Structure 1
């Protein structure tokens, strides 16, 4: 299963989930908030600290965080987003430094104050 764990209390993260769903017509991804029971179980199963301040992408038996997770997710999206995949050759240290700047400021970057209520079709993609 291909699961994206996201901060369920972050409007920027909610917007990111909406962005991904619109560009994932094949429904490759399932979603769960890090704060949910299943999110907590997956963090434990993959030895990821509960305090992680990152999107987490679980693909099969591997997990990815920070810039690697974001770029691996992009590689599965429809359209031009796949063109970001080659950035994986940039050393992780540099990619994650940029990711950390965005993550640190994600609450300021979101212009939304509320989350979108998912449709029935979208709801089926969320793990509980």
Structure 2
């Protein structure tokens, strides 16, 4: 199972979930809003992720956030999208700073939903 936890109020996050659904190699992805009961139950077991402003990706190999989550998701996408992993040549600290900058501004730039559409 592959589980993607995302901000259900964020337009960018909503678009990203739709895009992953369209480009996933298989249909074994699950998508849950970070504010939903299921996500809260999962995160209760992993308190270190409660305050992270990031998507969270869980699969059989572990739990991933920020750029690591992006790369793990990319492994499960159709070609040519798996090539996203080529960005791993950059230092993780730099990739996570870029991720955090976008995450911090995503609602201002892309807007929000008042309720989760999924």
Q: TM-score, normalised by structure 2?
A: 0.85
Q: For 1:5, what is the secondary structure of its paired residue?
A: strand
Please state how far the C-alpha of 1:62 moved relative to its aligned partner. Answer: 0.8
CA distance in 2, matches of 1:113, 1:42: 23
- 1:80 match: 80
Structure 1 residue ranges without an equivalent (≥5): 119-128
Q: For 2:84, what is the secondary structure of its paired residue?
A: helix
- 1:48 match: 48
What is the alpha-carbon root mean square deviation over aligned residues? 2.2
Q: Map 1:11-90 to 2 at 5 A.
A: 11-90=11-90
- 1:91 match: 91
Please state how far the C-alpha of 1:80 moved relative to its aligned partner. Answer: 1.2
Cα pair 1:46 1:63 within 8 Å, conserved: no
Cα pair 2:54 2:65 within 8 Å, conserved: yes
Runs of 4+ in 1 over 6 A off after TM superposition: none
Structure 2 residue ranges without an equivalent (≥5): none
Q: TM-score, normalised by structure 1?
A: 0.79
Q: Map 1:108-127 to 2 at 5 A.
A: 108-110=108-110
- The aligned length equals 118
Q: Kindly tell me: are residues 108 and 63 of structure 1, through their superposed partners in 2, closer, same or farther at Cα, counting changes over 3 Å? A: same
CA distance in 1, matches of 2:53, 2:17: 16
